[in-house]
Amino acid sequence: MIVRPRHLLRLIGIYRVLVRHDLEEIALATHMLGPLRYLGFLSPSTWSWLKREKKPRGARIRRALEDLGPIFVKFGQALSTRPDLLPADIALELARLQDDVPPFPGSEAMKIIATAYGRPAREVFADFDEKPLASASIAQVHAATLHDGKKVVVKVLRPKVHETIDRDLGVLHAIAALAETYWEQSRRFRPADVVDEYDKTITDELDLLREAANAAQLRRNFADGKKLYVPEVYWDYCRKDVMVMERISGVPVSDIETLRANNVDLSVLAEYGVEIFFTQVFKHNFFHADMHPGNIFVDISNPAQPTYISVDFGIVGTLTPRDQHYLAGNLLAFFKRDYNKVAALHIESGWVPESTRVDEFESAIRTVSEPIFNKPLKEISFGHFLVRLFQVARRFDMPVQPQLVLLQKTLLNIEGLGRQLYPDLDLWKTAKPFLENWMTDQASGREIFNRLRETWPELGESLQQVPQWAITTLQHAAEGRLKMQVDTPGLEKLRDEIQESSRQRNLHIVGGSLLAGGALLVGLAVGPAWLGWLSIVAGPLTWVYAMLSR
């Protein structure tokens, strides 16, 4: 992996922040700057005997991410949803990270809008408030009015956000690659996979047309608006870096005092949240994956039957029908304490290798599940069950499942929100009939017929081609032209590794030669002194380049 100059400068800046927050061990573990990483110990700030007592490691990591800027803050937030990968103290501390950055000037927003539409914002909108309603690391939101009088919100990407994110993603990939190479625990934490997952998520958030499409899909799925209302998207005004939606009004779901003051039935509101989640995951197979309290409001016009209002649709999730089936089966089997079924479902789904012994996996699942049942059903957390289950599965070589990570994150948000609204919420009471009915419907003759009807055109077309395929294969066999191709990706990987090893060896030889030659020139006073010193400096730099370009 080759590190670009701008990434190298950023790596140096990151290293300085880590040192300032007493996190040198991270730089040392990842070999972030190669041999130069040891120079940090020459700084008085790293002399352990002069340091004050260290704060907890979670707090130090959180503060370092805050100092590194918005992209690292969002990365920390993403990591906080992975308690299957991180120690609990670090995950809990990272959950405190706030995606709250100072707003950029309204005049800059108007320039971005003018570029997007090819005309000034004052011509596009009858009224545009330059003071933002909210500001985050990716975009900020302004109030506006269309010429037909409709009240809207305008979401505008931050200036140069693409360049900033591209640079920092490059740095994160570089750090992950170094960690994969040098960090002993990289196999368990899979830093490259985690960064790849984050890369896809944040890159998707940069396309506001994608977010608008997500909002439109959710709005269609909940067209009746009885339990969840999704604002209307005004497509004529949407661009990749500008999105316009209906302006809504509601009480923030976290403002429980106001909800109680208006006699909102919090038990109904909490149950609606659970129903909305399971409806999105199993009925629609399209779920809002960023449902933290800042993105949810409540319409309290009917306190007995309040309605959720959702905003910010940059992150959504879907599951394959196979994942849906096995997830529902896992949850039902868990509450029946059928741990053998849970283990078998994991193997059948392909989440863990086929070679996994069911009895060993079952025993591990029982060990982490039984303590959960010491609590009343209303206190049992689906989200934490999935976290514990995935932690166990990771020990049996379950790879990262991005779709399940988003689901786990959403479920934890929904549970936390539901129990904040109504502490006695029994998720199982709401979820069990939903899951049982869904599983029954999936096995019904009508559902099987519907799936067959949907796939019949492709199946029929394939069946028509079978005779021709058979005739062609027999002809090639008779004529001796039938060939078998064996894919050997391992050999290709081995060849690449040999070439890389040879390149690294050559660079180290060059670096050593420069260092030795320079020392001789200086020591023997042969030739210009500057040439000797230049060789002495160039030697170690060649080694650093070799290590950073792995």
Instruction: Give the pLDDT of residue 38.
Output: 47
Nearest to 271 by CA among 420, 411, 427, 380: 427
Segment 61-87, tens digit of pLDDT: 888 888 887 778 878 877 776 666 677
**Does 496 participate in catalysis according to the annotation?**
no
Segment 302-322, tens digit of pLDDT: 999 999 999 999 888 888 888
Which is catalytic among the residues 168, 241, 290, 323?
290
Distance CA 182, CA 43 (A): 24
DSSP string computed for 154-182:
EEEEPTTHHHHHHHHHHHHHHHHHHHHHH
Say if residue 47's pLDDT is above 50: no
Segment 276-285, tens digit of pLDDT: 999 999 999 9
CB 450 within 8 A of CB 321: no
CB 266 within 8 A of CB 422: yes
Instruction: Give the pLDDT of residue 543.
Output: 53
Segment 116-125, tens digit of pLDDT: 999 999 999 9
Which is more confident, 34 or 346?
346
In the predicted model, what is the mean pLDDT of residues 4-8?
A: 60
Of the pLDDT bands very low, low, confident and very high (cuts 50, 70, 90), residue 243 is: very high
Q: φ and ψ at 243, to 5 degrees? A: -130, 140
Say if residue 295's pLDDT is above 50: yes
Say if residue 530's pLDDT is above 70: no
What's the whole-model pTM score? Answer: 0.71
CB 145 within 8 A of CB 234: no
Instruction: Give the pLDDT of residue 39.
Output: 47
CB 80 within 8 A of CB 95: yes
Domain map (residue ranges) of the chain: 5-99+163-203, 249-448, 502-548
DSSP string computed for 203-268:
HHHT-HHHHHHHHHHHHHHTTT-SSEE-PPB-GGG-BTTEEEEE----EETT-HHHHHHTT--HHH
CB 23 within 8 A of CB 64: yes
